Every structure is written in structure tokens, then in C-alpha cells.
Amino acid sequence: MTAPLPRPPRVPGRILDARLHLLDRQVLDVDGEPVTTVDDLELGDLQFGERPRSAAPTITALISGPILTTRLFGGRAPRGRLGRIGWEVVAGIDIVLTLGIPGGGLEVSWFEGWLGEHVIGRIPGGRHDPD
């Protein structure tokens, strides 16, 4: 008879599956207004090319930006175009991610504003709510 497998070590905090719980999720501010979606994560324990120092790396920020074009055409978006939301302002993780602050002043909403003004606003009827 074989011995049972050892149990994995307990890690303090909550363990999340990035693909299941975080990536491509909508982010809402404290008032329930949509802010952005999560495109990538910034991990605090890792530097480029390093191995993790602990069993589970910690999340330091949510990354958002115009990622669709890089997914379609390849390449990497410039770092200056990516918005960053510090993990410390995330108040809840459910079907959507909820922030504990208003989203109006965050740097991640510039792309939606630009897209609305320069693309959606040029479509007939794009500047007002449907009747």
C-alpha cells in the first residue's frame, strides 16, 4: 500500500487563480461605476528572469491598457500606455473586482475616454444615449 501524498504548506493570505479570479474581469469603483478591465498583474516577489522567493508570489498591482492590438498583431504595449491600480485599493473580489476608491482620478480610464471621444463619438448617434 502506498503512503498518502504530503499536504502542501499553508500560505498566509488568500490564494487566487489569476486566470479564474482576476484576468479579464471588470473593475468597478466604490460607487459601482465601471473603471476598466484587468489585462495583466504585477507581482511583487518577481523580477524579470528571477525565480519566486516564496511558494506564492504576492500581487502588487492590476495592469490595464490597450492590450487588444498586441493580442491581435503581436508585440508588447509600451509601458507608458499601461495603467496601474495598486492592489491596496482593491476592496473585493467576486464576479467583478471592486475598488475602495472613486475611479475618476485613476490613470487607467484615459483609454476609454479617448476611445469614446475619437472613435465612438464619430459614429452616428454615438454621442447620446439611445432613445
Domain ranges (residues) in the chain: 18-47+56-122
Q: Bridge partners of 90?
A: 99
- Give the separation between CA 74 and CA 49, rounded to whole angstroms: 21
Instruction: Return per-residue pLDDT of the chain as tens, 131 residues.
Output: 678 888 877 767 777 888 899 999 999 999 998 888 898 888 876 555 566 566 667 889 998 877 766 777 777 777 777 888 999 999 999 999 999 999 877 877 666 677 777 887 788 876 666 66
CATH class belonging to 18-47+56-122: mainly beta
pTM across the whole model: 0.68
Q: Contact 54/45 with Cβ under 8 angstroms?
A: yes
Pull the grid cell for residue 12: 498566509
- Give the separation between CA 20 and CA 17, rounded to whole angstroms: 5
- Give the separation between CA 120 and CA 8, rounded to whole angstroms: 50
